Chain A
Amino acid sequence: MSAQSGLAGAVYDRGYRPYVGPRGGRQEATIALWRLSVRRALGLRRSWRQKVLPWSLLAIATVPAVVNVGVAFALKDNPLDFRDFEFITYREYVGVSTTLLLFVALVAPDVMCPDRAQRVLPLIFSRPLTGPDYVLAKVAAITTIVFGFGFLPQVVLYVGQMFVSRDGALNYLTDHAGPLWQVPVSVLILAVYYAAIGVALSSLTDRRIVGGVAILGLFLITSTVASIFEAAADFHGTPLAVLNLLSLPLAVRDLVFLGRLSHDQGLSGVDGGGAVAVAGYLLVVLGAIALLLRRYREVDL
Chain B
Amino acid sequence: MRAAGLGLTYAGGHITALSDFTVDIPAGSVGLVGANGAGKTTLFRLMLGLLRPTAGHIQVAGRDVATDPVGVRSRLGYMPEHDCLPLDQSASDVVSTFGELAGLPTRAARQRASDVLDLVGLDEARFRPIGGFSTGMRQRTKLAQALVADPALVLLDEPTAGLDPMGREEMLELVGRLAGFGISVILATHLLDDVQRVCEHVVMIDRGRLVRAGPIEALLQTIGVMRVEVGGRDDAVAVLAQALAAKGLASTAVDAHHLDVDTSRHGDEAFDSVRDAVADAGLRLYALSTQHRSLDDVFIQEAYR
Interface positions of A (Cβ within 8 A of B): 14-19, 21-26, 28-29, 32-33, 35-36, 45-46, 114, 118-120, 122-130, 298-299, 301
**CB of B243 within 8 Å of the partner chain:** no
Check A123–B98 contact: CB distance below 8 A: yes
Which residues of A are found within 8 Å of B271, using beta-carbon distances?
Answer: none
Kindly state the separation between the CA atoms of A13 and B41 in the bound complex, as whole angstroms. Answer: 34
Check B84–A119 contact: CB distance below 8 A: yes
Chain A interface: which of B13-21, B104-112, B259-267? B104-112
Check A22–B105 contact: CB distance below 8 A: yes
**CB of B119 within 8 Å of the partner chain:** yes
**CB of B167 within 8 Å of the partner chain:** no
> With contacts A19-B112, A23-B149, A301-B80 known, is A126 near B103, CB below 8 A?
no
Check B44–A301 contact: CB distance below 8 A: yes
Which residues of A are found within 8 Å of B157, using beta-carbon distances?
Answer: 301
Kindly state the separation between the CA atoms of A33 and B93 in the bound complex, as whole angstroms. Answer: 13
**CB of B150 within 8 Å of the partner chain:** yes
Check A18–B182 contact: CB distance below 8 A: yes
Check A18–B83 contact: CB distance below 8 A: no
Chain A residue at smallest Cβ distance from B147: A16
Check A23–B74 contact: CB distance below 8 A: yes
Partner pick for B41 among A21, A25, A301, CB 8 A cutoff: A301
**15 additional A-B residue pairs with CB within 8 Å, beyond A119-B83, A126-B48, A127-B98:** A18-B182, A23-B104, A23-B149, A24-B104, A25-B70, A26-B70, A28-B103, A29-B102, A32-B97, A114-B88, A118-B85, A127-B101, A128-B70, A129-B101, A299-B50
Check A118–B86 contact: CB distance below 8 A: yes
A-B contact pairs, 6 of them (CB 8 A): A21-B108, A24-B104, A25-B74, A118-B87, A125-B50, A301-B80
Check A127–B86 contact: CB distance below 8 A: no
Check B100–A301 contact: CB distance below 8 A: no
Check B118–A14 contact: CB distance below 8 A: yes
Check B78–A18 contact: CB distance below 8 A: no
Task: Name the residue among B85, B104, B108 with the largest chain A CB count within 10 angstroms.
Answer: B104
Q: What's the least CB distance linking A100 to chain B, in Å?
A: 24
Check A32–B101 contact: CB distance below 8 A: yes
Which A-B residue pairs are the 10 nearest by beta carbons?
A24-B103, A19-B150, A126-B78, A32-B100, A16-B181, A128-B74, A127-B101, A128-B70, A119-B84, A28-B103
Which residues of A are found within 8 Å of B112, using beta-carbon distances?
Answer: 19
Which residues of A are found within 8 Å of B82, using beta-carbon distances?
Answer: 119
Partner pick for B108 among A16, A19, A126, A301, CB 8 A cutoff: A19
Q: What's the least CB distance linking B252 to chain A, in Å?
A: 43
Check A16–B84 contact: CB distance below 8 A: no
Check A118–B50 contact: CB distance below 8 A: no
Partner pick for B103 among A23, A118, A125, A298, CB 8 A cutoff: A23
> With contacts A127-B73, A301-B45 known, is A118 near B84, CB below 8 A?
yes
Check B70–A120 contact: CB distance below 8 A: no
Kindly state the separation between the CA atoms of A32 and B104 in the bound complex, as whole angstroms. Answer: 9
Q: What's the least CB distance linking B93 to chain A, in Å?
A: 6
A-B contact count (CB 8 A): 108
Q: Which of B14-70 contact A (CB under 8 A)?
A: 41, 44-45, 48, 50-51, 70
**CB of B231 within 8 Å of the partner chain:** no
Interface positions of B (Cβ within 8 A of A): 41, 44-45, 48, 50-51, 70-71, 73-74, 76-78, 80, 82-88, 93, 97-98, 100-106, 108, 112, 115, 118-119, 145, 149-150, 157, 177, 181-182
Which residues of A are found within 8 Å of B86, using beta-carbon distances?
Answer: 114, 118, 120
Chain A residue at smallest Cβ distance from B84: A119
Kindly state the separation between the CA atoms of A191 and B106 in the bound complex, as whole angstroms. Answer: 27
Which residues of B are found within 8 Å of A18, using beta-carbon distances?
Answer: 150, 181-182
Task: Name the residue among A19, A119, A125, A130 with the largest chain B CB count within 10 angstroms.
Answer: A19
Kindly state the separation between the CA atoms of A22 and B149 in the bound complex, as whole angstroms. Answer: 11
Q: What's the least CB distance linking A14 to chain B, in Å?
A: 7
Chain A residue at smallest Cβ distance from B41: A301
Which residues of A are found within 8 Å of B84, using beta-carbon distances?
Answer: 118-120, 122-123
Kindly state the separation between the CA atoms of A119 and B83 in the bound complex, as whole angstroms. Answer: 7
Chain A residue at smallest Cβ distance from B74: A128
Check B102–A127 contact: CB distance below 8 A: yes
Check B119–A16 contact: CB distance below 8 A: yes
Kindly state the separation between the CA atoms of A258 and B84 in the bound complex, as whole angstroms. Answer: 50
Check B101–A29 contact: CB distance below 8 A: yes
Which residues of A are found within 8 Å of B45, using beta-carbon distances?
Answer: 301
Q: What's the least CB distance linking A200 to chain B, in Å?
A: 22
Kindly state the separation between the CA atoms of A125 and B76 in the bound complex, as whole angstroms. Answer: 11
Kindly state the separation between the CA atoms of A32 and B93 in the bound complex, as whole angstroms. Answer: 13
Which residues of B are found within 8 Å of A120, using beta-carbon distances?
Answer: 84-86
Kindly state the separation between the CA atoms of A130 and B77 in the bound complex, as whole angstroms. Answer: 16
Chain B residue at smallest Cβ distance from A131: B50
Kindly state the separation between the CA atoms of A212 and B227 in the bound complex, as whole angstroms. Answer: 70
Check A14–B105 contact: CB distance below 8 A: no
Check B101–A14 contact: CB distance below 8 A: no
Chain B residue at smallest Cβ distance from A22: B105
Q: What's the least CB distance linking A18 to chain B, in Å?
A: 5
Task: Name the residue among A45, A114, A125, A128 with the largest chain B CB count within 10 angstroms.
Answer: A128
Q: What's the least CB distance linking B46 to chain A, in Å?
A: 11
Partner pick for A124 among B51, B74, B101, B105, CB 8 A cutoff: B101
Check B181–A123 contact: CB distance below 8 A: no
Which residues of A are found within 8 Å of B71, using beta-carbon distances?
Answer: 128
Kindly state the separation between the CA atoms of A193 and B71 in the bound complex, as whole angstroms. Answer: 33
Chain B residue at smallest Cβ distance from A17: B115
Which residues of B are found within 8 Å of A124, using beta-carbon distances?
Answer: 101
Which residues of B are found within 8 Å of A24, using beta-carbon distances?
Answer: 103-105
